[in-house]
Amino acid sequence: MLEEDAELAEAIPRDQRQQASAECLARALAVPAGRWRAPQAALAGEGVGLLVLRGLLIRRVGVDGRFGAELLGAGDLLRPWQGEDEGPTLAVTTGWQVVEPARLAVLDGRFAQRVGRYPQAIGCLVGRAMARSRNLAVNMAIVHQARVDVRLHMLLWHLAARWGRVRADGVNLPLRLTHNVLADLAAARRPTVTSALSELARQELVQAREDGWLLRGQPPGELLELVQVSATLTDALGAPAAPAEEGV
């Protein structure tokens, strides 16, 4: 795991890394692009969950025919089986879609026992869960913006904070996100998303590229405020409970 995840390795004191690298082993799970159903019986139990090493996944949640979505990538922790035995109070539809072929580490019970010797690594993994919680809070605030073009502009810059690469002509967001995927992420209809992207392109704020998106100018000021408020509230109150995850 420490060879696969440099941040996790750096969390452990240097004089313990070699031993930790030999002990903190985990099975790898390759998931091709397309719809995904987590193998719950093999993964549920006392373990930590699944850690994304590579690739992109989307978790879609629908209520009464309307969907929201969460984009997940390297470093995110998943527990797709969590909450399956709870009786739902709403008719919720959930599903997983692998956008780019993914490689996941299975942090099962045996891994949990081994990594327990290294509290710094545990703290790092908890930090990943906290970061996912903050991202969800920002996403919720973004989709409450009235205009879809504003939502998309903020959403793309929010994703660029994690995956973007600065270039001479702007910030490159190397994610191949279709209009359908962006519609779920922005809680909008696909035709509306297409029109909003055309407007952003007309203003020379966003340009579609073969490898993703090019963002020009500066991030929306409102987005910076949302991120700051989300971090402050999460630190003060603790991470909000993550929504129950289900395989489909």
The topology (CATH level 3) of 6-131 is Jelly Rolls (2.60.120)
pLDDT of residue 160: 92
pTM: 0.80
Contact 213, 207 (CB under 8 A): yes
Task: Render 97-140 in DSSP notation, one character per residue.
Answer: EEEEEEEEEEE-HHHHHHHTT-HHHHHHHHHHHHHHHHHHHHHH
pLDDT of residue 90: 67
Q: What is the mean pLDDT of each run of 10 residues along the chain (248 residues)?
A: 92 94 92 83 68 93 78 91 62 84 92 91 92 88 91 94 91 92 92 96 94 90 56 42 36
Asked: is 142-235 a CATH 3.40.1010.20 domain? The reply is: no
Q: Where are the domains of the chain?
A: 6-131, 142-235
pLDDT of residue 192: 96
CA distance 56 to 76: 10
- Which of 118, 122, 160, 123 lies closest to 138 in space, CA to CA? 160
